[in-house]
Structure 1
Amino acid sequence: MRNFGPFDSFSDALKATCPLILSKPNATVVHLREQDPELALRVSTEYCAWLYYTPEHKYELSMLTDLSAPGSALRREASCLLPPNVDDPRYPPSSIKYIFLLHNHPFAGEISEKDIHLAATMANAHGLVSQLGNRQIPLSVVAFFTNSKDAHHPTCDGFHQYIPATRELMKWLSTERGWRSEKMGTVNWISATTFVITRE
C-alpha cells in the first residue's frame, strides 16, 4: 500500500517526504522544548515509513505509521514501530528493494541507539546494499528534523542518517543548492548487539 510517490530519484523523494512527515501532528515539538518540556515529551509523536524501489524503476513511500514501539512511553521518548516489510500487492515481495527507513525526530536530535539497532536489523533482513539497475544504494535509516519553532509551518532543515554498509553517521542540511552533507562519526560494532561511536 502506498500514500506518496512515485519519484524518479531518491533525492526527489527525500525533498518531498521531509516536509510531509514534519507537517504531521506533533511531529516536531521544538517550539515546546523551552516553554514546557514535560508537555513536549508527552505529546511528541514519531512517524515512520519505508522508501522503497519498485520493478517500475520508481521510488515510493509506504503508508506512514505512528504506532509506538513497546516501552517507549516508559522511556519517555517518541518511538515509531516500522513493519519490516512493505505491503504493495502490485509486486511480488521479493521484487521490492528497501532503501530508507524514514522517520522524524521531534526534538531535532541525532540518530539514536534505537535507530542504529533498527537499521542493523533491517539490513540483516533485506541486505546492506540494493542493486538498482547499474547503481548500488545502501540501506540506511533517516531522521528528518526542523529547527523551526513554528509548529504549523515547520521547515525541513535536514536529516540525520546512519548507513550500516559503511558504518557512517551523516548529517544532511537543506540548502538552496540541494542537500549538503557532513560526516558526524563512525559506528564501530564490538559485538552483534554492542557498539561505540567514534566522533569526527
Structure 2
Amino acid sequence: MDFGPFDDFSDALEAACPLILSKPNASVGHLPGSDRQLALRVSTEYCAWLYYTPDRKYELSMLTDTPVPGSSFRGETRCLLPPDVNDSRYPPSSIKYIFILHNHPFATSISSGDIRFAAAMTHAHALLADVGNRKIPLSVIAFFANPANEANSRCGGFYQYIPATRELLKWVHSNGDWDGVRLGRVEWTSDTKFDIIKER
C-alpha cells in the first residue's frame, strides 16, 4: 500500500481519502437510482486507523473490509475495525490513536454506529492525543466521493464526529485545502443514548 508516513495529519488525510475510495465498490452513490438492492450488495466499507508513532510520523494501519456481524441484515454496509493497531516496530503504549477512517459508499453523513464506535474508542484510547507540541482529539471520519466523479471514486471530502467537542462537521477539499462547516452536535442523554442536533 503506497502511503506515507507523513509529517502532518492534513497531508495524511489528503492521501488517505483517494486511497480508500479507490478500493473496489468503495463508492456506489451512482447506483441506487437504478437498483438500490444491487448497490447495497456490492458496496464495501473499508476501515483503518490513522495513528501517530514515536518517530513523529502519521501512518495508516492496514485496511480491513471485514463486515460488522449482522450489518447486512439491517441494510447497512459497515466494516469492523480492530480497536488496536498491531505495529511491531513500536511498543503498543507508544502509539497515539488519532482518526478512525472509513468510507461511506453512499456518501451519507456520520451514522449512529460511527458515533457509538468513536465513543467506545475514547474509553480504549486517549480522548486527546499528545502529538508533538499539540493535542489532537480522537475522531471518526467518513470519506465520500466527489459527486461529479463518483463512478471514478474521486475524493469529495469527509464527515467527522469529534467526541471531545461533540461536534459533527463536514469537510470538502477546495483549492488545495480543507474547508469545513459545522453540521450539528451530539447530545448524550445517558451513557448509551444520544440525540443528534442538526444545525444545517
TM-score (norm 2): 0.96
Alignment partners' CA distance in 1, 2:130 and 2:86? 21
* Counterpart position of 2:53: 54
Identical positions, percent:
64
Q: Structure 1 stretch 173-182 or stretch 78-87: which is displaced more?
A: 173-182
Partner-residue secondary structure (3-state), 2:122: helix
Q: Which residue of 2 aligns with 1:135?
A: 134
Aligned to 2:125: 126
Is 1:37 paired with 2:36? yes
Q: Specify every segment of 5 or more residues in structure 1 that has no aligned partner in the other structure, as ranges.
A: none
* Secondary structure of the corresponding residue to residue 157 of structure 1: strand
Contact preservation (8 Å) 1:31, 1:148: no
In the other structure, the counterpart of 1:196 is: 195
Q: Which residue of 1 aligns with 2:185?
A: 186
C-alpha deviation, 1:65, in angstroms: 0.3
Shift of 1:165: 0.3
Distance 1:196 1:8 in 2: 36
Number of equivalenced pairs: 198
Cα distance in 2 between the residues matched to 1:148 and 1:189: 36
Higher helix proportion (structure 1 or 2): 2
Cα separation, 2, equivalents of 1:185 and 1:150:
26
Deviations 1:104-123 (A, max 9, x none): 00000000000000000001
Post-superposition, which runs of at least 4 consecutive aligned residues in structure 1 deviate over 2 A?
148-151
1:109 corresponds to: 108
Q: Residue 175 in 1 paired to residue 200 in 2?
A: no
| Alignment-mate amino acid for residue 131 of structure 1 | D
Give the C-alpha shift of residue 4 in structure 1.
Answer: 2.7
Asked if the contact 2:28/2:150 (under 8 Å) is kept, the reply is: no
Deviation at 1:194, TM superposition (A): 0.2
TM-score (norm 1): 0.96
The reply on whether 1:27 has 2:26 as its aligned counterpart is: yes
Q: Which amino acid aligns with 1:21?
A: I
Looking at structure 1, the residues matched to 132 and 34 of structure 2 have their Cα atoms a distance apart, in angstroms, of 50
Q: Deviations over 1:6-41 (max 9, x none)?
A: 011110000000000001000000121211111001
- Alpha-carbon shift at residue 177 of structure 1 (Å): 3.5
Alignment root-mean-square deviation, CA: 1.1
Determine the C-alpha separation between the residues in 1 that align with 2:198 and 2:183: 6
- Work out whether residues 140 and 162 of structure 2, in 8 Å CA contact, stay in contact via their aligned partners in 1: yes
Contact 1:50/1:101 (<8 A) preserved: yes
Unaligned runs of 5+ in 2: none
